[in-house]
Copies of this chain bind each other. A is one copy, B any other.
Amino acid sequence: MENINEKLNEVKEHIKNVTYLIHAESLIHWDMQTGIPSKAIDGRIEVVGYLYSECIKLMTSSKIGEWIEYFSDKMDKLSFKDKKIIENLKRNYDELIKIPPERNKEYQMLCSTSEAFWKQAKANNDYEGFKPYLAKIIEFNKEFAEYIGYEGNIYNKCLDDYERGLTVDRVDKVFKELRDGIVELLEKIKASKVSIDESFFKKQFPTKDQDEFGKFVLEKLGYDFEAGRLDTTVHPFTTNFGNKDVRITTNYDEHDFRSAFFSNIHEGGHGIYEQNSADDLEYTGVSGGTSMGVHESQSRYYENILGRSKEFWSYFYPEAQKRFPQFEGVNLEDFYKAINKVEPSLIRTEADELTYSIHIIIRYELERAFMNNEITVEELPAAWNEKYKDYLGVEPKNDSEGILQDTHWGAGLIGYFPSYALGNVYGAQFLNKMRQDIPTYDEEVKNGNFAVIKDWLRENIHQFGSLYTPSELIVKVTGEELNPKYFLEYLNKKYGEIYEI
Q: Which residues of A contact B (CB under 8 A)?
A: 16-17, 20-21, 23-24, 27-28, 31, 35-40, 42-44, 46-47, 50-51, 54, 224-229, 241-242, 244-245, 247, 282
Complex A-B: 22 CB contacts under 8 Å: A16-B46, A20-B46, A20-B47, A20-B51, A23-B44, A24-B47, A24-B51, A27-B28, A27-B31, A36-B245, A37-B225, A37-B226, A37-B227, A37-B229, A37-B244, A39-B224, A39-B226, A40-B241, A40-B244, A40-B245, A43-B242, A44-B245
Q: How far is A319 from B148 in the complex, measured between Cα atoms in Å?
A: 64
B28 and A24 form a contact (CB under 8 A): yes
The smallest C-beta distance from A325 to any residue of chain B, in angstroms, reads 23
- Taking a contact as CB atoms under 8 Å apart, the answer to whether B23 and A47 are in contact is yes
A44 to B38, CA, bound (A): 26
What's the Cα separation between A47 and B247 when bound, in Å? 17
The answer to whether B244 touches A43, judged by C-beta atoms less than 8 angstroms apart, is yes
Whether A244 lies near B28 (C-beta < 8 A) is: no
Q: Closest residue to A275 on the B side, CB-wise?
A: B39
Residues on B with beta carbons closer than 8 Å to the beta carbon of A20: 46-47, 50-51
A24 adjacent to B24 (CB under 8 Å) = yes
Inter-chain CA distance A51–B40, complex, in Å, is 21
Bound CA span A36–B44, Å: 20
B37:A228 contact, CB within 8 angstroms: yes
Q: Which of B16, B37, B54, B245 contacts A245 (CB 8 A)?
A: B37
Secondary structure at chain A's binding surface: helix, strand, loop or mixed? Answer: helix
With beta carbons under 8 angstroms apart, the residue of B40, B244, B282 that contacts A227 is: B40
> How far apart are the CA atoms of A44 and B27 in the complex, in Å?
10
Report the minimum CB–CB distance from A52 to chain B (whole Å).
Answer: 11
What's the Cα separation between A31 and B31 when bound, in Å? Answer: 9
Candidates B42, B43, B225; contact of A241 at CB < 8 Å: B43
- The answer to whether B226 touches A38 (Cβ under 8 A) is yes
Residues in B neighbouring A226, C-beta threshold 8 A: 37-39
List the B side residues contacting A38 at CB < 8 Å. Answer: 226
Nearest first, the 9 A-B pairs at minimum CB distance are: A40-B245, A20-B50, A39-B244, A39-B227, A40-B244, A20-B47, A38-B226, A24-B24, A39-B226
**In the complex the two chains form, what is the Cα distance from A42 to B227 in whole Å?**
12
- Min C-beta distance of A55 to chain B, whole Å: 11
CA of A17 to CA of B225, assembled, Å: 35
A282 to chain B, nearest CB (A): 8
Can you name 8 extra interface pairs (CB under 8 A) apart from A23-B44, A37-B228? A37-B229, A37-B247, A39-B224, A39-B227, A40-B227, A43-B242, A44-B241, A54-B54
Chain B residues whose C-beta falls within 8 Å of the C-beta of A47 in the assembled complex: 20, 23-24, 241
Closest to A225 in B: B37
Chain B residues with CB under 8 A of A51: 20, 24
- Give the CA-CA distance A44 to B122 in the complex, in Å: 34
Residues in chain B near residue A225, CB distance under 8 A: 37
Q: How many Å from the CB of A113 to the closest CB on chain B?
A: 15
Q: Which residue from chain B places its CB closest to the CB of A50 in the assembled complex?
A: B20
Q: Is the CB of B39 within 8 A of A245?
A: yes
A41 → chain B closest CB, angstroms: 9
The residue on B at minimum CB distance from A17 is B50
Q: Which residues does chain B contribute within 8 Å of A42, judged by CB atoms? A: 244
CA distance in complex: A40, B225 (Å): 11
Q: Using known A-B contacts A37-B226, A38-B226, A226-B37, determine if residue A245 contacts B24 with beta carbons closer than 8 Å.
A: no
| In the complex, chain B residues whose CB is within 8 Å of the CB of A245 | 36-37, 39-40, 43-44
Determine which residue in A21, A37, A247 has the highest number of CB atoms from chain B within 10 A of its CB, and name it. A37
Chain B residue at minimum C-beta to C-beta distance from A38: B226
Q: Closest CB of chain B to A101's CB: distance in Å?
A: 15
Report the Cα distance A226→B43, complex, angstroms.
Answer: 13
A16 and B50 CA atoms in complex are apart in Å by 10
* Contact partners of A224 in chain B: CB under 8 A: 39
Chain B: minimal CB distance from A488 (Å):
39
Residues of chain B within 8 A (CB-CB) of A27 are 27-28, 31
Interface centre among A39, A44, A46 (most CB of B within 10 A): A39
Q: How far is the CA of A294 from the CA of B35 in the complex (A)?
A: 29
B21, B54, B229: the one contacting A35 at CB < 8 Å is: B229
Taken together as a complex, chains A and B put the C-alpha atoms of A226 and B226 apart, in Å, by 31
Chain B residue contacts of A43, Cβ below 8 A: 23, 241-242, 244-245, 282
